[in-house]
């Protein structure tokens, strides 16, 4: 079992670290949470039954580890930096100061919109955008159907876009 887990650690450490780094935007914290994720996975390894992809299982543990950290430190999920969301939807980034300022304002609006989402919508969005998980993997991680994950994600995007548009109209 120990050799199996060491192999799993070597293979998935970079992806779990990248996932947590995208959520925290803090290298030290991402490293700490990645180590805790693998510690929790090691403890629960005997319960893993290959019913889902290994990365899906580990990402689910990582997400819960991150949420536990936030609760313990009484921080809100608005500490999740939405830059990845903005970059995913923007083709190019201008160096002009006005464009940079507008991008930062949009980032703040996305942050507000994401924190305003109900928990299930926020969970699906984080796993889809930050972990780059398929809808099938998200369904496995959250114990919902693939179709439900897909519907929740598209509803979350719609809610976020409406919230951002409402702020622009103010």
User: How does pLDDT run along the chain (170 residues), one tens digit per residue?
Assistant: 677 778 888 999 999 998 888 877 788 999 999 999 999 988 887 777 776 788 888 888 898 898 888 777 754 444 444 444 455 444 334 456 666 677 667 777 777 788 788 989 988 888 888 777 889 888 888 889 999 999 999 999 888 888 877 766 55
pLDDT in the model for residue 111: 73
Query: How is the chain split into domains, by residue range?
Result: 1-75, 77-170
pLDDT in the model for residue 96: 61
pLDDT in the model for residue 118: 92
pLDDT in the model for residue 79: 42
How far is Cα 134 from Cα 118, in angstroms, rounded to an integer? Answer: 21
How far is Cα 158 from Cα 38, in angstroms, rounded to an integer? Answer: 34
Return the CATH class of domain 77-170.
Answer: mainly alpha
pLDDT in the model for residue 60: 85
pLDDT in the model for residue 45: 79
Q: Burial code of 86-98, b = ≥16 C-beta within 10 A, e = fewer?
A: beeeeeeeeeeee
How far is Cα 78 from Cα 112, in angstroms, rounded to an integer? Answer: 7
What SS3 class is residue 53?
coil
Fold of 1-75: Rna Polymerase Sigma Factor; Chain: A (1.10.1740)
How far is Cα 141 from Cα 53, in angstroms, rounded to an integer? Answer: 9
pLDDT in the model for residue 67: 83
């Amino acid at each position: 079992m120990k050799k199996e887990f060491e192999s799993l650690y070597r293979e998935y450490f970079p992806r779990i670290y990248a996932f947590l780094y995208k959520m925290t935007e803090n290298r030290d914290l991402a490293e700490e949470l990645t180590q805790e994720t693998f510690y929790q996975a090691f403890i629960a390894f005997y319960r893993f039954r290959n019913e889902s992809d290994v990365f899906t299982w580990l990402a689910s543990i990582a997400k819960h580890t991150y949420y536990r950290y936030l609760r313990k430190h009484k921080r809100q999920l608005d500490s999740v930096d939405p830059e990845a969301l903005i970059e995913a939807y923007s083709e190019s980034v201008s160096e002009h100061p006005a464009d940079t300022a507008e991008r930062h304002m949009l980032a703040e609006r996305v942050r507000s919109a994401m924190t305003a989402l109900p928990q299930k919508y926020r969970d699906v969005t984080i796993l889809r955008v930050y972990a780059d998980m398929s809808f099938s993997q998200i369904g496995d991680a959250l114990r919902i159907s693939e179709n439900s994950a897909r519907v929740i994600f598209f509803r979350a995007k719609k809610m976020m876009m409406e919230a951002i548009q409402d702020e622009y109209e103010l």
